[in-house]
């Protein structure tokens, strides 16, 4: 079985200039955890997930601290959110993860869970040889294909 046999073909995407609030709206309305970012020709450029949306709210200096779980009261951080520049200033190009893992539509289905586990991702954009987005495959898509296809597990 190949990835293209299982993937979702009708993929919701956003462009580079999609505002943060539009991306948030799409994720909520469609009940999805991430959305591919494409150019006008459908070429995959990156991905914005809920993680990237939340990361906008975390100050950069937390990366330098490393482990900040010893801080019990993050009230000062919450107060700073009130003075944060407008979230309207952020667009997909600013938020997206550009170095994302994708999978070719003709790859073996079993390659998808291997990549997902190795790179700790829940979904993989599916591309043709020219990096054109043709679908997306999630962990649930794989489970449905494997368990519904296995005898006695329906």
Question: Are β-strands 44-49 and 123-127 bridged in parallel, bridged antiparallel, or unpaired?
Answer: unpaired
| Cβ partners under 8 Å of residue 40, min gap 6 | 15
- Whether pTM exceeds 0.75: yes
Low-confidence ranges of the chain (pLDDT < 70): 58-87, 149-154
Nearest CA to 84 out of 17, 20, 14, 16 is that of: 20
Model confidence pLDDT, tens digit, residues 131-147: 999 999 999 999 999 88
Helix (H) or strand (E) holding 37: strand 34-38
Model confidence pLDDT, tens digit, residues 45-71: 999 998 888 877 765 555 545 555 555
C-alpha to C-alpha distance for 3 and 19, rounded to whole angstroms: 31
- Tell me how many degrees the CA angle 75-80-82 measures, rounded to the nearest 5: 110
Domain 3-149: give its CATH superfamily.
CBS-domain (3.10.580.10)
In this prediction, what percent of the chain has a pLDDT beyond 90? 63
């Amino acid at each position: 079985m190949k990835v293209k046999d299982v993937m979702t073909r009708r993929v919701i995407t956003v462009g580079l200039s999609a505002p943060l609030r539009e991306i948030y709206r799409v994720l909520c309305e469609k009940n999805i955890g991430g959305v591919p970012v494409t150019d006008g020709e459908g070429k995959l450029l990156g991905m914005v997930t809920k993680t990237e949306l939340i990361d906008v709210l975390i100050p950069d200096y937390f990366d330098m601290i490393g482990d900040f779980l010893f801080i019990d009261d993050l009230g000062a951080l919450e107060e700073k959110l009130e003075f944060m520049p407008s979230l309207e200033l952020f667009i997909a190009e600013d938020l997206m993860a550009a170095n994302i893992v994708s999978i070719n539509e003709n790859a073996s289905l079993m390659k998808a869970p291997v990549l997902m586990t190795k790179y700790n991702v829940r979904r993989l954009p599916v591309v043709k040889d020219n990096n054109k987005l043709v679908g997306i495959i999630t962990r649930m898509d794989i489970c449905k294909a494997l368990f519904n296809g296995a005898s006695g597990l329906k």
